[in-house]
Structure 1
Amino acid sequence: MATAASSLTPSTSLPKPSRPFSISISQLPQVSLNFKKLNCSISCALKISRRTATSTATKASSMASSGITTVDQNNKKAVEVFDTEEELAVSLAKYTADLSDKFAKERGSFTVVVSGGSLIKSLRKLVQAPYVDSIDWSKWHVFWVDERVVPKDHPDSNYKLAFDGFLSKVPIPPGNVHAINDALSAEGAADDYETCLKHLVHTGVIEKSSVSGFPKFDLMLVGMGPDGHVASLFPGHPLLKENQKWVTHITDSPKPPPGRITFTFPVINSSSYIALVVCGAGKASQTALGKSQNSDVFPVQMVSPEGELKWFLDRDAASKL
C-alpha cells in the first residue's frame, strides 16, 4: 500500500459563481449497454443558449447552487454546466464533501475512486477552507479507476498526480490509500488489485452490489478522454465487453504508456454515485459523445450506474455537446 503525507494548504474563500448562460435537456440520450446482467440506457441532447444580463441575474437569484442543473428523475441522471472550470471545482467540492459526510455517518467509511488527467486539478477546492478542516478524512478510502503500470514517482503515474495535487494536502490515513503494486507486471498488478478489493469487500470497507454482485463504491470521480474513453477502456477495444473481472489489464493502450490496469464497466456502473467531470473543448468531441453516425458505441456512453450519474461540464466542454 502507498502512503500519503499530511499537510494543510492555506485557506481561501470560495468565489461567487456567475451564470452567463443556461442549459436544458430537450431529449435524453439513448445509449445501450449489452452486458449479460446489465442493460442500461443513457441519452442526452443538450442545448446551450445565451441569456441577457437581466435574465441571467434573475436565473442566478433563483438557483440555490452554482451552475445550471437539469435532472432526469426517472433515470437518476443530471447534467450541470458551469461558465468556468473554477465554478465547476467549487460545486464538485461541495458535492464530494456532502457525500463524504453522508457515507461517513451511514457506513463509517467513504470509498472514493479517482482517475488521472485534469480531474485532480478540479478537486483542488477540497484542500481549501471550509472542506479541508470539516471533512472527516479518517473515513476516506481512496482507489484508482485505472493506473499506468509505472513507478509511483514516474511522471505518467496517476498516483503521483493525485499525491502531488491532493493526497499530500489532506490527512487521509496512509493505510487507506490503495495504490497498485507497481513492481508487478500489468497482469499481475491487475490481479493483485482485484484481490485487494475482494478483501475490502469481505471486511465491509467496500459494499457489494446486490444487483450485480460487483463492488459498490460510494463515489467514482472520473474524467473522459477526447475519444470518449473512460478509465483505460478505449473505443473498439475488447476490454469494453469484459463482464466477469473486477480489474483487468491492458498492454496495448492507444495512449502511452501501453501497460495499464483498469476497472471494468460492471464495477464502474455498480457505483452508488458517479461524477463524470469534463473540462475543455478538447475533452468533448462530438464523436466521443456518439453524435457521429458512422461511429461505434464509445466507452463514455456505457457509463450508466445503478445509482446516480452526474455530469460536471464547463462551458467549453458543453459547447461541443
Structure 2
Amino acid sequence: MTVDPELLIHRDADDLAFSVAARMITAITDAQSTGGVAEVVLTGGRVAARIYRAVAESPARVEVDWQRVEFWWGDERFLPPGNPERNETQARDALLAHVDVDPARVHPMPADTGQSAEAAADAYATELAATISALNDEKRRAVPAFDVLMLGVGPDGHVASLFPGYPQLAVTDVSAVAVHDSPKPPPTRVSLTLPALDRSREVWFVVSGDDKADAVATALAEGDVPAARPKGRNRTLWLLDEAAASKLT
C-alpha cells in the first residue's frame, strides 16, 4: 500500500538538516523498538552531509543502538575507494566514523578498483538480496523492505542516479544497475533501480535550494520526472526548505 505524499517545509537548509536529523534518530529507534535491526538507505549531496553531521552531534544519538542499524546507499559515484566525491566517503566522514556502527552492517556500493560498473552493480544486488532474505527469515517479512529510504532530487528531477530518459528507469528485474554518460560528473555510477527504491516503508525526499524548485513542483504534480516515481509503502515525505518549495502552488 502507498499513500499520498506529505509535504513539510522548513525555513532554510540548516533548519531542514536539524529537523531531518531528529526525524532520522526517531525513525531508527522506532524500528529497533521490537528488538530488530533498522534498515536505512542513505543518500548524498550538500544537504545530506549537513543531516549526517547533525545526527552525529545530536545528544539524542545515544538513544540509537548503532550496532543494530543496517546502512545501504541508493546510488554511488563509481570512483576509487576513499574519493571525497563518493557518497560513502561523505557519510563516513560526517556520521559513521562518529558512532559505534557494526562494520558488517555497513554496505557501501563497490568502488572502482578495476572491475566494471556492471560487475559492481551485480555484486551490490547480490549482497542486498542475501541480506534482506536473511532479515526476512528473522522477521518473517513477506516483502523485502527498508525502514527509511532517503533521496535527494536533482534540478532535472533525477533521483539516485536514475536520470530522465535513461534506460535504467525501465529496469525491473534487478535491484542495482550501472549508469554511464551521466549528465553530471562523474559519468559512471551505480544506482538502485525503481523497484528497489519502492521497497521502503518510508521514502523521504530531502531537498534544499531554489535550483531544485522546478523539479520539486513537477514531481509533486506527478510530472514526467524520475522523482515522481518512488513511493513509500507506508509513508512518502517531501522534506523541503522554503527555497526548494518556492514553485509550489
* Same fold flag (TM > 0.5): yes
1:177 is aligned, of 99, 106, 129, to 106
Question: Are 1:254 and 2:196 matched, yes or no?
Answer: no
User: Residue 201 of structure 1 contacts residue 207 of structure 1 at CA under 8 Å; is this kept in 2?
Assistant: no
**Structure holding more helix per residue:** 2
Deviation digits for residues 93-148 of structure 1, max 9, x if unmatched? 22111111111122510111011112122232211232232221111111110011
Q: How many residues align?
A: 243
Shift of 1:242: 1.2
Against the structure 1 CA distance between its residues 208 and 144, is the aligned structure 2 distance closer, same or farther, given a 3 Å change threshold? farther
Supply the distance in 2 between the matched residues of 1:147 and 1:129 (Cα, whole angstroms).
Answer: 26
User: Residue 181 of structure 1 contacts residue 189 of structure 1 at CA under 8 Å; is this kept in 2?
Assistant: yes
Supply the distance in 2 between the matched residues of 1:107 and 1:239 (Cα, whole angstroms).
Answer: 36
Pairs within 5 Å for 1:103-182: 103-118=31-46, 119-182=48-111
Which residue matches 1:264? 193
Paired residue type of 2:218? G
Supply the distance in 2 between the matched residues of 1:165 and 1:281 (Cα, whole angstroms).
Answer: 24
When Rg is computed on C-alpha atoms for both structures, the one with the higher figure is 1
2:210 is aligned, of 281, 288, 292, to 281
Deviation digits for residues 2-34 of structure 1, max 9, x if unmatched? xxxxxxxxxxxxxxxxxxxxxxxxxxxxxxxxx
Paired residue type of 1:196? E
Which residue matches 1:200? 131
Gaps of 5+ in 1: 1-37, 41-74
Paired residue type of 2:88? Y
Against the structure 1 CA distance between its residues 173 and 313, is the aligned structure 2 distance closer, same or farther, given a 3 Å change threshold? same
Which residue matches 1:314? 241
Against the structure 1 CA distance between its residues 277 and 209, is the aligned structure 2 distance closer, same or farther, given a 3 Å change threshold? farther
User: Residue 217 of structure 2 contacts residue 247 of structure 2 at CA under 8 Å; is this kept in 1?
Assistant: no
Pairs within 5 Å for 1:1-321: 75-118=3-46, 119-182=48-111, 183=113, 184-204=115-135, 210=142, 215-286=144-215, 289-290=217-218, 297-321=224-248
Supply the distance in 2 between the matched residues of 1:207 and 1:95 (Cα, whole angstroms).
Answer: 24
Q: Share of identical aligned residues, percent?
A: 33
Deviation digits for residues 273-321 of structure 1, max 9, x if unmatched? 11110011112225x6328x9xx71011112222211111111111132
Deviation digits for residues 66-85 of structure 1, max 9, x if unmatched? xxxxxxxxx24210001122
User: Residue 149 of structure 2 contacts residue 203 of structure 2 at CA under 8 Å; is this kept in 1?
Assistant: yes
Q: TM-score with structure 2 length normalisation?
A: 0.89
Q: What secondary structure, in the 3-state scheme, does the structure 1 residue paired with 2:200 have?
A: coil
User: Residue 216 of structure 1 contacts residue 271 of structure 1 at CA under 8 Å; is this kept in 2?
Assistant: yes
Supply the distance in 1 between the matched residues of 2:52 and 2:94 (Cα, whole angstroms).
Answer: 9
Q: TM-score with structure 1 length normalisation?
A: 0.70
Q: What secondary structure, in the 3-state scheme, does the structure 1 residue paired with 2:131 have?
A: helix
Supply the distance in 1 between the matched residues of 2:18 and 2:127 (Cα, whole angstroms).
Answer: 32
